């Protein structure tokens, strides 16, 4: 029995909240998987969207990732509601060029998956394919200053996970790298 005076958190609640908030903010796992396919299709021609969804799910199952998703979405929501302190409110609302904490939070996701994740993150941030176009459109009244980087980081991490697993498969390694 847990002691009511001691803080404890059910990990399943964090995972569930992450899923729910991504979808409330208009991001489906398939949208992220499409970014992964975009990143990896040239390297692994047989790769399918279903394969990519499996890797996106694996990335999303990690607490570091869930923490970043929830923190980023919370800050975006507070900015939409005008509840941040000035001048942070205006910086996040307008996705100010010199404000880079959104990218830094997203790097906490990429850090789990090594240098391939890192380079792919920079690449999707530059090219902004698929769902990143909508998240960056700034026309629908929603603010996704943090979420766009987080979605890019999840896709980049899943791409890295694929690259490491495919290499391990080629080498006949039975214990897959990068959970
Ligand atoms: Mg951003």
Q: How far is the CA of 81 from the centre of ligand 1 (A)?
A: 18
Give tens-digit pLDDT for 79-127: 999 999 999 999 999 999 999 999 999 999 999 898 999 999 999 999 9
pLDDT band of residue 2 (cuts 50, 70, 90) is low
Compute, in angstroms, the gap from residue 32 CA to the centroid of ligand 1.
16
Contact in structure between 160 and 120 (CB atoms under 8 Å): yes
Average pLDDT across the chain, whole number: 93
Ligand 1 centroid–CA 144 distance in Å is: 7
pLDDT at 5: 73
**SS3 at position 172:** coil
- Domains located in the chain, CATH noted: 19-167 (1.10.3760.10)
Q: Of the candidates 94, 98, 99, 96, which has an alpha carbon nearest to the alpha carbon of residue 82?
A: 94
Determine the distance separating the centroid of ligand 1 and the alpha carbon of 72, expressed in angstroms: 10
Per-residue confidence (pLDDT) for residue 60, from 0 to 100: 97
Q: Report d(CA 104, CA 101) in Å as an integer.
A: 5
| Nearest partner of 22 among 93, 30, 54, judged by Cα | 30
């Amino acid at each position: 029995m847990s002691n009511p005076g001691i803080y404890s958190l059910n990990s399943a609640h964090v995972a569930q909240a992450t899923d729910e908030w991504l979808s409330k903010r208009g991001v489906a796992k398939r949208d992220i998987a499409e970014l992964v396919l975009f990143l990896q299709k040239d390297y692994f021609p047989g790769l399918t969207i279903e394969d990519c969804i499996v890797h996106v799910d694996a990335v999303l199952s990690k607490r570091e990732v869930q923490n970043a998703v929830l923190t980023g979405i919370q800050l975006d929501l507070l900015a939409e509601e005008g509840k941040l302190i000035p001048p942070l409110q205006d910086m996040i609302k307008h996705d100010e060029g010199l404000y880079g904490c959104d990218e830094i939070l997203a790097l906490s996701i990429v850090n789990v998956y090594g240098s391939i994740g890192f380079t792919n993150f920079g690449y999707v941030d530059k090219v902004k394919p698929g769902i990143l176009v909508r998240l960056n459109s700034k026309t629908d009244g929603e603010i996704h200053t943090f979420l766009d980087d987080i979605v890019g980081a999840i896709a980049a991490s899943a791409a890295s996970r694929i690259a490491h697993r495919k290499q391990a498969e080629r080498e006949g390694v039975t214990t897959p790298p990068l959970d």
